[in-house]
Amino acid sequence: MLSACIVGIPVGAATLTISHLLNKQTNDVMSADSASAWNESLQEQQVLVDEAKYQAEKKLAALTLRVAELQARLVRLDALGERLTTMAKLDNGEFDFSRAPALGGPEQNLDEADFTAPDFQQMLEQLGEQIEDRQQQLDTLEALMAKRKLQNDVFLAGRPIKKGWMSSRYGRRSDPFSGRIAWHAGVDFAGKKGADIVAVAAGVVTWSGERYGYGEMVEINHGNGFSTRYAHCKENLVKAGDVVKKGQVVALMGSSGRSTGPHVHFEVYKNGRTVDPATYIHRASR
């Protein structure tokens, strides 16, 4: 037994030593593989992080452009609203597009359990659609108001003078030179020499100059078969081809041509024939 022990102890020690070395080598191999696996995993995660960062930057850039587009649309809407406010002649402060809209109301608690945050991109798209819809509505309203204003401008109404009085009516009368009964194709407004003569509606000047019997005369075509004449002027302030506005001064009162004193002879033509201007003189402006 002693011999066996003496022989067995070195053998056992050698066996334990070899086993420890093998285990150590195995542990060293596993550690290297583990490090390599972790390194590969970290590289893969870094790639995923970089990709997520790239996608996030792309989305942020897209959202920034979308917000800038919406801001530009809001600026256009504000400008359009200001124009409509001016065209409609609304009181100052009734619609102030330079301020944020007034809001209010009692506070009420929201059940957070039932609350779901909206998708930001979808919310921007919905806002964009609403802004576009409002812009189309305001554009349509502006077009209608502009058309109405144009119709009002070409609507014959009012007197061709700012100051003066009607000295002769339309129709049969005694001729101021011969004394015989004659036809008067317009109405006369007497006033101070050099007083303003104004257009009763917007239109295009088709004649500006001297004409037999009329003296210095201005003729304006208003469209839809209507035209007006302003005669016996001291001076014409417009020329043929000019576009005039309603109420614009087109000439100065005088006594040129067949006239007995400072006045304006005012005629209204409808489809090439004279009509009584009184209908349009006493007409209420739209």
Looking at the structure, tell me whether residues 149 and 10 fall in a common domain: yes
What is the model's pTM? 0.54
Looking at the structure, tell me whether residues 147 and 169 fall in a common domain: no
Looking at the structure, tell me whether residues 277 and 137 fall in a common domain: no
Question: Which pLDDT belongs to residue 150?
Answer: 61
The model's pLDDT over 232-260, given as tens digits with 9 standing for 90+, comes to 999 999 999 999 999 999 999 999 999 99
Looking at the structure, tell me whether residues 170 and 71 fall in a common domain: no
252 closest CA partner among 201, 217, 284: 217
| Two tokens, residue 264 | 């304006």
Looking at the structure, tell me whether residues 137 and 197 fall in a common domain: no
User: Which residues, including other chains, have CB under 8 Å from residue 181's CB and lie 6 or more apart?
Assistant: 172, 173, 174, 175
What are the Cα distances from residue 164, in Å, to 43, 52, 132, 199?
96, 82, 52, 15
The model's pLDDT over 116-143, given as tens digits with 9 standing for 90+, comes to 656 777 777 777 777 777 777 677 766 7
Q: Which domain holds residue 4?
A: 1-94+126-153
Question: Which pLDDT belongs to residue 243?
Answer: 93
The model's pLDDT over 178-218, given as tens digits with 9 standing for 90+, comes to 888 999 999 999 999 999 999 999 999 999 999 999 999 99
pLDDT for 41 beyond 90: no
Mean pLDDT, residues 273-285: 85
Looking at the structure, tell me whether residues 276 and 198 fall in a common domain: yes
Q: How confident is the model at residue 5 (pLDDT cuts 50, 70, 90)?
A: very low
Looking at the structure, tell me whether residues 223 and 262 fall in a common domain: yes
Give the range among 109-113, 127-131, 142-146 with minimum mean pLDDT: 109-113
Looking at the structure, tell me whether residues 81 and 216 fall in a common domain: no
How many domains does the chain fold into?
2
Looking at the structure, tell me whether residues 4 and 144 fall in a common domain: yes
Looking at the structure, tell me whether residues 145 and 194 fall in a common domain: no
Question: Which pLDDT belongs to residue 22?
Answer: 47
Distance CA 218, CA 206 (A): 8
Q: Establish if 262 belongs to a structural domain.
A: yes
Looking at the structure, tell me whether residues 149 and 227 fall in a common domain: no
Q: For the chain, what is the mean pLDDT?
A: 79
Q: Kindly report the CATH number assigned to the domain that includes residue 275.
A: 2.70.70.10
Q: Establish if 120 belongs to a structural domain.
A: no
Distance CA 232, CA 187 (A): 12
